[in-house]
Amino acid sequence: MAMSQPVGFQIPTVLLPGPGIDLHKWAVIACDQFTSEPEYWQAVEALVGDAPSTYHLTLPEIFLGTAEEERRGRQIQEAMRAYLDQGLFVEHERLILVERTAAGRTRHGIMLALDLEHYDYKPGATGLIRASEGVIQERIPPRVRIRRGAILELPHILVLIDDPEHTVIGPLVRARAALPRLYDFELMLGSGHLTGYSVDDPHLEQQVVAALNRLADAETCAARYGLPAGSPPLLFAVGDGNHSLATARAIWEEIRPQVGMDHPARYALVEVENIHDPGLVFEPIHRVLFGARSDALAALCDFYPDRCHLVPCANAQAMIDLVEHEERPEHTFGVITADGFTVAYVADPPSNLPVGTLQNFLDAWGKAGGYQRIDYVHGRDVVERLGTQQGNIGFYLPAIAKSSFFKTVIVDGVLPRKTFSMGEAREKRFYMEARRIL
C-alpha cells in the first residue's frame, strides 16, 4: 500500500520526563489559567518546590508585568538547558494518544507537530491551519521573549479537527487497551487524570495520516460546508493556545531567512482533538473589569442607544437562566456588580455572537477610562465572586455551539478574542510533553 504523506503536519519526536521523575509535580496547567487567582499559583509553587517540573520551564501569566517576569524569563531557558544536560528526558518517536479525564468527562487527542508555513492567525487567513479567535497582540511579546533562543517548546495548544465519523482518533481509542502506556497519573490540584499511549503499530499510525489527508481534501471540505468549489480547505482550527501558536509563527518568520526551511522551529507541537469528542465541552469565557466606574450599565445603553434593554434579576441563578435559555433575536449577557445582577439585551447586534457585541462596548469604554484592567475568566463561580467585589464588574456570557464552529471560522473569519474555552480552568491542558526546536 502506498504511504500517504502528511499535509501540514508531521509525527513529532517528543521528549518525555524520564524514569524517577514525579509526574504529579512535573505536569503543570497552561500558563494563561488562574490569572486573577494568585493563591492557585502559590499552591503550585509550594507543591513543586525544587523538583523537576514544567513550572520551571514556563511563565504563568499571573507574573506578566511584574519583577518576577524578567527573573523567571531568564531562569526558564537555563532550566531547559539544565534538564537536557542532566538527561531528564527520554525521546519518543511514535504517535502519542492522549487521554484526559476531568470534571467527570474523558476526551482524547493525538500529539502532532503542525507546519507553521500553513498557519496564519490574521483575520481573513485561508490556510490549512487557522486561528479560531482574535489574537491579542500585546500578549505575544512576552511569549516571544521566552521562545526566542529557547531549546524546547512545551505546548498547551489544543487544535480541533471536524471529524464527525471519528476516522482519525477513533481507531486509536478503540485499540488503546493494546497500546503501551507512556504515562498514567493524577494531575495536581484536582485537575483529573492524564494517560498517554504509544501508537507503536505503524498501520494504525498510517491510518491516522490518511484520515487527516481525507479531511484536508479541498473538494470534500467545500461540500461539507456548502462552500464554492475551489475554496481553500480548513483542516486544523486552533481551540486553545492561539497566542502560543502565534508566537511560534512569529519566531519562525524571524529566523527562517537564517536557518532555511528544514528546521525544527518550522513546526509547533500541539495536541489535536476532534470537535465531536463527547468529552469535549465548549465553555464561555467571561469578562471581569477591575477598577471600574459605577456607570457601566448607563454607558452600555449609551453605546447602543435605543437598542439596549436591561432586566434586573433577583440572584445569579435567575440571571444565568435568562442568558442561557431565552430564545430571542437580541444578544444577551449578564452583568454582575456589587449591587446585584442584571441581564442586558442588545437588539440589531453588530456581531454574529454576543461576545462580539459585548467586546465592542468594552473596548470603547476602556479607551474612555471606564476601567483600569480587564481579565478573561472561566467558570460561573469565578466571574460571580470577582464581579460582586466592590470596584469590579463581571460579564456572564453564553456558550457557542460546536456544530457550527468550523463553518463560522471559514465564513466569518476569526471569532472575537477570548470567545470560548474548551472546558473550564481545571480541565485545561497541562504541560507534559516537550520538543526540541533548536
Q: In whole angstroms, what is the distance from residue 36 CA to residue 97 CA? A: 32
pLDDT of residue 3: 46
Neighbours of 116 (CB within 10 A): 23
Torsion sign (Cα): 228, 230, 236, 238: negative
Per-residue pLDDT of the chain (438 residues; tens, 9 = 90+): 344 566 799 999 999 999 999 999 999 999 999 998 999 999 999 999 999 999 999 999 999 888 888 889 889 999 999 999 999 999 999 999 999 999 999 999 999 999 999 998 887 889 999 998 877 788 788 889 889 989 999 999 999 999 999 999 999 999 999 999 999 999 999 999 999 999 999 999 999 999 999 999 999 999 999 999 999 999 999 998 989 999 999 999 999 999 999 999 999 999 999 999 999 988 899 999 999 999 999 999 999 999 999 999 999 999 999 999 877 889 999 999 999 999 999 999 988 789 989 999 999 999 999 999 999 998 899 999 999 999 999 999 998 888 778 988 888 788 877 888 888 889 999 999 999 999
Greatest Cα pair distance in the chain? 68
Q: In whole angstroms, what is the distance from residue 207 CA to residue 429 CA? A: 25
pLDDT of residue 5: 61
Place of cell 481545571: 426
What cell does 216 get? 484536508
Neighbours of 279 (CB within 10 A): 18
DSSP string across 307-358: TEEEEEESSHHHHHHHHHH---SSEEEEEEETTEEEEEEESS-SSSSHHHHH
- Provide the residue type at 401 as one letter: A
> Are 91 and 14 contacting, i.e. CB atoms less than 8 angstroms apart?
yes
What cell does 55 get? 513550572
Indicate the burial class of 127 (C-beta count within 10 angstroms; 0-12, 13-18, 19 or more). buried
pLDDT of residue 4: 56
Beta bridge partners of 272: 110, 159
Neighbours of 252 (CB within 10 A): 21
* 126: nearest Cα among 226, 223, 231: 231
| H helix and E strand count, the chain | 13, 23
What does pTM read for this prediction? 0.83
User: Where do the structural domains in the chain lie, given as residue ranges?
Assistant: 9-280+422-436, 283-400
Place of cell 475554496: 231
User: Is it true that domain 283-400 has CATH number 3.40.309.10?
Assistant: no
Q: In whole angstroms, what is the distance from residue 12 CA to residue 155 CA? A: 13
Q: Name the DSSP letter for residue 154.
A: -
| Helices 380-387 and 316-325, packing angle to 10 deg | 130
Alpha-carbon separation of residue 212 from 130, 206, 268, 271 (angstroms): 16, 10, 17, 14
pLDDT of residue 380: 92
Helices (H), 148-241: 170-175, 202-215, 218-225
